[in-house]
Amino acid sequence: MSAAQAGPVLPDGVFSTDPATVDAHRLDRSGWVPEGQPLGVALAESVADVRAVLRHAHATGTPVVVRGAGTGLSGGAGATDGSIVLDLSRMNRITEISAADQLAVVQPGVITADLDRAAGAYGLRYAPDPASAAISTIGGNIATNAGGLRCAKYGVTRDSVLSLDVVLADGDLVTTGHRTVKDVTGYDLTGLFTGSEGTLGVIVGATVKLRPRPARTATLAAYFDDVASAAAAVTAIGAAGVQPAVAELLDAATLAAVEDANGRRPDRPAGAFLLVQTDGPAAEAEAADVHAVLGAHTARVAAAGDEAEGERLLAVRRQALPALERRGRVLIEDVAVPRSRLAEAVEEIQRISQETAVPVFTLAHAADGNLHPIVVVERDRELDEDVWAAADAIFTMALALGGTLTGEHGIGVLKRKWLGADLGERNLALQRRLRAVFDPTGILNPGKAV
Amino acid sequence: MSAAQAGPVLPDGVFSTDPATVDAHRLDRSGWVPEGQPLGVALAESVADVRAVLRHAHATGTPVVVRGAGTGLSGGAGATDGSIVLDLSRMNRITEISAADQLAVVQPGVITADLDRAAGAYGLRYAPDPASAAISTIGGNIATNAGGLRCAKYGVTRDSVLSLDVVLADGDLVTTGHRTVKDVTGYDLTGLFTGSEGTLGVIVGATVKLRPRPARTATLAAYFDDVASAAAAVTAIGAAGVQPAVAELLDAATLAAVEDANGRRPDRPAGAFLLVQTDGPAAEAEAADVHAVLGAHTARVAAAGDEAEGERLLAVRRQALPALERRGRVLIEDVAVPRSRLAEAVEEIQRISQETAVPVFTLAHAADGNLHPIVVVERDRELDEDVWAAADAIFTMALALGGTLTGEHGIGVLKRKWLGADLGERNLALQRRLRAVFDPTGILNPGKAV
């Protein structure tokens, strides 16, 4: 679609072919650079705009790449050659917050942290908290079924979505789900659109659950001699019947990077760091239980006496990614394994890093068995064969442990190669036929996801 | 398929055309009586048996009606004319319980309460607790996305399913999901099969989440002057930041039926009864908060001092359905509305009952806005036009309040008529095309669900 072609179907100011605008909408944060150039960017301001774009794209067979804030880490929002980029960031209104129904109705471009903040005025919160929450949109979070730290207790994005307004490939608008907590009327299209990475339809509105904002939060941190002890402690927390709100693990290399960034050289470097938060009415009692459990696995446990101390303990986790980014270009990987295989997975990643001589640092949402192996290369270095060999070994290891390719970032373009190995060919074929039902002409994010 | 035809494809003893066996497998508990007769019953003992049945059915175009314990309330498992009934109740083994991964791997015929009991030996529980838990199967629970009392805190069946083994319409076997807590590899087929009422595939295995068994439970009961006060109290409990594990409401008519069955005639009959349970490490503190909230809406609150007292308070709720079944034939309806519309919904049901002269008693999972209007007619009376007129008015009312046709029982055959009004025609058409991807020849539970 040229700007001239776009004239009749898109309102003034909605469609842009300005090179600077196009350039600002080509990439996500995965590091993946698509070949070629998109036709232009539709900066939709309404459902009507989105429908007009889709009707036009459907009639002309033009690919559409939907985009929230472009913070994705798998290439899902990378603008492929000849596509229209459909940017929803201007549709950023919180339409309603209902304290009685404990839900919010939002447009897709609302920044996730803004929603959480707005819910706070009602004593509520939006629980899913991807690390990108301050910059990513709720629409993007839903399209990728984003995770986060608090998933340990509150589940992933899908667990918070009640209903969606979706513009289909031909421009028709459907609503899935209901404004009810329970709903078994028909198939779970809400769950199907959640995590579909822009391939089944365009999410133009969402009704999401809010939850009571916990009155209390307690924070603990512990240093362990090795990852196996830290992982055993996480399992023991679960066995003690405690559901932590947050349980974050740093491996030795990541912890050393944080210490180094802070100009510290500990006499006795630890083999792993674990941050645990409990929340809710029994936060302190649960934290005391966690403290006892951790104490059986290491002597180095610190419990925050107040919020400021809690923030100091959290800082180690918060500084991990910035500390790695100081060292070079990062590729943030994402695999998930059964919780009981966490230690093996971290140890295998360390072994792979040594064998391939590719530096890999590991952060993990420990209670979920969701690991982020982070590859760090020189700043100007391409992600070359060695990097992908290490990534390949990590994916293969995750599958061998009964895990999966991606816990919360999605397939995008970067993981398509391994999809068949993970899902099996019959499952994958089924998913592709399902995709064709929603998008028979193949205009929605072609070449991405399944 | 005649028994002779079944010979080559089904092992000895698996397929039965014995009239008594067939008769025992014709109905579910909805009261719906299908016309005609099924060909026979396949009493599958293995995945291989199920695959053989499906391959045969696919090749011959024979309808297959899958069945667990036949406790469904919407006609979904009713055996239609010329179908093979595929009974999975013999596949009833708990394959694994993992304390470290907090999950169980089960065959579909496991009785739900048996799974919960087995998990108890590990300090865990299977949270979803449909009222039928003691007699229904986990496979049937998954196929209908069953709800229950504890959904208020722990979500519906779908929220507890991690992975499924599914035999497709042509006999192929696929696995969906993973043994991981987080998983965004491909579309959410696990969620799609859950609640698909035997129309997309046959669930032959499941990996389900287990949760720590709460060490503490506290129980309260309250009598209110009217439903509006009881519903306001439920909303106020949420506003106080408490997430009750159970919040069950009985309307005046249901409460009177219980009192009557117990031979009591209270001086001052109540307008509504509410049972609330809290659980977890702060159960008592939360119960104290609930007590204070309830006290602002009624003077008649009782808090259980111990487990035996808790059981006595629970008895009122437990006796509700038996008390109604003493009065005649019951049709257990099931609608859901946004939580804030609960009182309106109960009052509308009472109005509809009066206007149509059809006796309707209401039980509700109050914290979920999930209502069970229960029609009681004379024991030998057919569910005639008057009954369906009342049901129609109730469904229409639920939709008008922003609710849905069914919160936890499913569409089956009894609610198909209203599907278009609920979902919209485009959404329904999409669901039907999606169904055709999984079952192109239409052999899986034809005439049911979407």
State the pLDDT at residue A382.
82
β-bridge partners, B125: B211
Same domain, A174 and A198: yes
- Contact with chain B for residue A322, Cβ under 8 A: no
B355 pLDDT more than 70: yes
CA distance linking residue A270 with residue A290, whole number of Å: 20
Same domain, B159 and B189: yes
Nearest-Cα distance to chain B for A238, in Å, is 7
Task: Tell whether A435 is covered by a domain.
Answer: no
- Output the CA–CA distances (angstroms, integers) from residue A339 to A251, A403, B101, B180, in the order listed: 16, 9, 5, 7
CA distance linking residue A196 with residue A76, whole number of Å: 10
pLDDT tens for chain A, 450 residues long, are: 444 455 457 877 899 999 999 999 999 999 999 999 999 999 999 999 999 999 999 999 999 999 999 999 999 999 999 999 999 999 999 999 999 999 999 999 999 999 999 999 999 999 999 999 999 999 999 999 999 999 999 999 999 999 999 999 999 999 999 999 999 999 999 999 999 999 999 999 999 999 999 999 999 999 999 999 999 999 999 999 999 999 999 999 999 999 999 999 988 899 999 999 999 999 999 999 999 999 999 999 999 999 899 999 999 999 999 999 999 999 999 999 999 999 999 999 999 999 999 999 999 999 999 999 999 999 888 888 999 999 999 999 999 999 999 999 999 999 999 999 999 999 999 999 999 999 999 999 999 999
- Contact with chain A for residue B20, Cβ under 8 A: no
What phi-psi label fits residue B420: left (phi over 0), alpha (psi between -120 and 50 degrees) or beta?
Answer: alpha
Q: Which residues of B touch A155 (CB under 8 A)?
A: 159
Q: Is the dihedral of CA B235, B240, B245, B246 positive or negative?
A: negative
Parent domain of B17: 3-87
3-state secondary structure chain B: CCHHHHCCCCCCCCEECCHHHHHHCCCCCCCCCCCCCCCEEEECCCHHHHHHHHHHHHHHCCCEEEECCCCCCCCCCCCCCCCEEEECCCCCCEEEEECCCCEEEECCCCEHHHHHHHHHCCCEECCCCCCCCCCCEHHHHHHHCCCCCCHHHHCCHHHHEEEEEEECCCCCEEEEECCCCCCCCCCCHHHHHCCCCCCCCEEEEEEEECEECCCCEEEEEEEECCHHHHHHHHHHHHHCCCCCCEEEEEEHHHHHHHHHHCCCCCCCCCCEEEEEEEECCCHHHHHHHHHHHHHCCCCEEEECCCHHHHHHHHHHHHCHHHHHHCCCEEEECCEECCHHHHHHHHHHHHHHHHHHCCCEEEEEEHHHCEEEEEEEECCCCCCCHHHHHHHHHHHHHHHHCCCECCCCCCCCCCCHHHHHHHHCHHHHHHHHHHHHHHCCCCCECCCCCC
Tell me the pLDDT band of B381, cut-offs 50, 70 and 90: confident
Question: Considering only alpha carbons, which residue of chain B is nearest residue A337?
Answer: B180
Task: Tell whether A441 is covered by a domain.
Answer: no
Query: Using CB atoms and an 8 Å cut-off, which of residues 63-92 of chain B contact chain A?
Result: none
- Contact with chain A for residue B423, Cβ under 8 A: yes
Question: Considering only alpha carbons, which residue of chain B is nearest residue A151?
Answer: B182
Nearest-Cα distance to chain A for B104, in Å, is 13
> Please, are residues A101 and B339 in contact by the beta-carbon 8 Å criterion?
yes
Same domain, B252 and B334: no
Residue A182 is nearest to which of B123, B407, B434, comparing CB atoms? B407
CA distance linking residue B108 with residue B156, whole number of Å: 17
Same domain, A99 and A208: yes
Tell me the pLDDT band of B10, cut-offs 50, 70 and 90: confident
CATH code of the domain containing A111:
3.30.465.10
Same domain, A225 and A270: yes
Domain termination site, one of B33, B54, B87? B87
Site from A97, A122, A181 to mutate, B interface, most B CB atoms within 10 angstroms: A181
Site from B129, B170, B182, B434 to mutate, A interface, most A CB atoms within 10 angstroms: B182
Task: Tell whether A446 is covered by a domain.
Answer: no
Q: Which residues of B touch A179 (CB under 8 A)?
A: 338, 402-403
Q: Which two tokens stand for residue B396?
A: 């229409």
| Side chain identity at residue B180, one-letter code | T
Q: Which two tokens stand for residue B117?
A: 């009991």
> Please, are residues B198 and B65 in contact by the beta-carbon 8 Å criterion?
yes
CA distance linking residue B356 with residue A228, whole number of Å: 67
Query: Using CB atoms and an 8 Å cut-off, which of residues 275-314 of chain A contact chain B?
Result: 280-282, 285-286, 289
Query: Using CB atoms and an 8 Å cut-off, which of residues 351-390 of chain A contact chain B?
Result: 365, 367-370
Same domain, A46 and A120: no
Chain centroid to Cα B421, Å, comes to 22
> Please, are residues B310 and B217 in contact by the beta-carbon 8 Å criterion?
yes
Q: Which residues of A touch B144 (CB under 8 A)?
A: 184
Q: What is the mean pLDDT of residues B201-218?
A: 96
Same domain, B360 and B436: yes
Task: Tell whether A439 is covered by a domain.
Answer: no
CATH code of the domain containing B338:
3.30.70.2740
Q: Which residues of A touch B192 (CB under 8 A)?
A: 187-188, 191-192
State the pLDDT at residue B380.
85
> Please, are residues A419 and A411 in contact by the beta-carbon 8 Å criterion?
yes
Contact B180 A365 (CB under 8 A): no
Q: Which residues of A touch B186 (CB under 8 A)?
A: 411, 419, 422-423, 427-428, 431, 449-450
Task: Tell whether B79 is covered by a domain.
Answer: yes
State the pLDDT at residue B446.
98
State the pLDDT at residue B11.
77
Cα radius of gyration rounded to whole Å, chain B? 22
Number of domains in chain A: 4
B3 pLDDT more than 80: no
> Please, are residues A142 and A192 in contact by the beta-carbon 8 Å criterion?
no
3-class DSSP assignment, residue A202: strand
- Contact with chain B for residue A333, Cβ under 8 A: no
Residue pointed to by tokens 């000895």: B12
Tell me the pLDDT band of B391, cut-offs 50, 70 and 90: very high
Same domain, A303 and A334: no
State the pLDDT at residue A8.
52
Task: Tell whether B446 is covered by a domain.
Answer: no
State the pLDDT at residue A383.
82
Q: Which residues of A touch B243 (CB under 8 A)?
A: 211-212
Nearest residue to A237 (alpha-carbon basis) of B51, B99, B430, B92: B99
Residue pointed to by tokens 């609608």: B335
> Please, are residues A211 and A154 in contact by the beta-carbon 8 Å criterion?
yes
- Contact with chain A for residue B178, Cβ under 8 A: yes
Nearest-Cα distance to chain A for B283, in Å, is 9
CATH code of the domain containing B71:
3.30.43.10
> Please, are residues A244 and A152 in contact by the beta-carbon 8 Å criterion?
yes
Task: Tell whether A51 is covered by a domain.
Answer: yes
Q: Which two tokens stand for residue A192?
A: 């199907």
CATH code of the domain containing B228:
3.30.70.2190
Half-sphere exposure (Cβ direction) of B296: Cα atoms closer than 13 Å: 13
Same domain, A297 and A261: yes
- Contact with chain A for residue B171, Cβ under 8 A: no
Same domain, A74 and A126: no
Out of A38-47, A118-127, B111-120, B260-269, least confident range? B260-269
CA distance linking residue A167 with residue B89, whole number of Å: 42
Same domain, B280 and B225: yes
State the pLDDT at residue A380.
85
- Contact with chain A for residue B426, Cβ under 8 A: yes
What phi-psi label fits residue A414: left (phi over 0), alpha (psi between -120 and 50 degrees) or beta?
Answer: alpha
Contact B338 A185 (CB under 8 A): no
> Please, are residues B294 and B220 in contact by the beta-carbon 8 Å criterion?
yes
Domain termination site, one of B320, B355, B373? B320
Same domain, A156 and A195: yes
Contact B243 A211 (CB under 8 A): yes
Task: Tell whether A422 is covered by a domain.
Answer: no
- Contact with chain A for residue B196, Cβ under 8 A: yes
Q: Which two tokens stand for residue B156?
A: 């519906």
Spell out the alpha helix ranges (H) of A246-306.
Answer: 252-261, 283-295
Domain termination site, one of B298, B320, B342? B320
Tell me the pLDDT band of B12, cut-offs 50, 70 and 90: confident
- Contact with chain A for residue B23, Cβ under 8 A: no
Q: What is the mean pLDDT of residues B434-449?
A: 98
Q: Is the dihedral of CA A190, A194, A199, A203 positive or negative?
A: positive
Residue pointed to by tokens 């209203």: B418
State the pLDDT at residue B4.
45
β-bridge partners, B161: B208
